[in-house]
């Protein structure tokens, strides 16, 4: 097979696109807002919508992921000027909470791999305990 510059070497199937996180998000947004991203969802259409309607995109993404659910479009980006854009005013996100909220016993939280050591795993329970201990230490130190 001869491959020329710019040749498409692989494309996902319609089924794999629909099963992807982006495909599921696009289907959810399509139903919620009555938008048509194509079937399967077309990346360029989703991208175009995201840059033409950033308040809708980021608000819907926050709701879909559960990170910032239910923020009205007019409270997503209240000031567009750059520099100085204001995103999600008055709302905060706890990064540790977001990172730990999908903890499971089905697989480790972290797999550390080194050229000189055997791979080692950190379970979600151990990671949660370590994060809690670190947070307690920071509070004790007044941070």
Q: What are 78-99's pLDDT values in tens digits?
A: 999 999 999 999 999 998 899 8
Instruction: Write down the pTM of the prediction.
Output: 0.77
Round the average pLDDT of the chain to a whole number and report it. Answer: 93
Neighbours of 8 (CB within 10 A): 6
Q: What are 114-132's pLDDT values in tens digits?
A: 999 999 999 999 999 999 9
Report strand pairing: 110-112 vs 86-87: unpaired
Domain ranges of the chain: 14-89, 98-140
Quote the tokens at residue 107: 């697989």
Query: Has residue 1 got a pLDDT over 70?
Result: no
Q: What is the 3-state secondary structure (H, E, C) of 57-106?
A: HHHHHHHHHCCCCCCCHHHCEEECCCCCCEECCCCCCCHHHHHHCCCCCC
Q: Which residues of 81-112 are buried (b: 16+ CB within 10 A; e: fewer)?
A: eeeeeebbeeeeeeeeeeeeeeeeeeebbeee
């Amino acid at each position: 097979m001869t491959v020329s510059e710019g040749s498409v070497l692989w494309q996902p199937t319609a089924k794999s696109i629909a099963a992807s996180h982006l495909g599921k998000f696009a289907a959810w947004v399509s139903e919620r807002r009555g938008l048509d991203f194509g079937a399967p969802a077309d990346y360029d259409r989703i991208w175009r919508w995201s840059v033409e309607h950033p308040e809708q995109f980021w608000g819907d993404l926050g709701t879909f992921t559960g990170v910032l659910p239910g923020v009205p479009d007019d409270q997503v980006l209240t000031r567009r000027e750059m520099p100085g854009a204001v995103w999600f005013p008055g709302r905060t996100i706890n990064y540790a909470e977001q990172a730990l909220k999908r903890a499971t016993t089905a697989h480790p939280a972290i797999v550390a791999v080194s050229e000189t050591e055997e791979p080692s795993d950190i379970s979600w329970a151990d990671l949660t305990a370590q994060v809690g201990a670190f947070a307690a230490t920071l509070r004790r130190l007044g941070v």
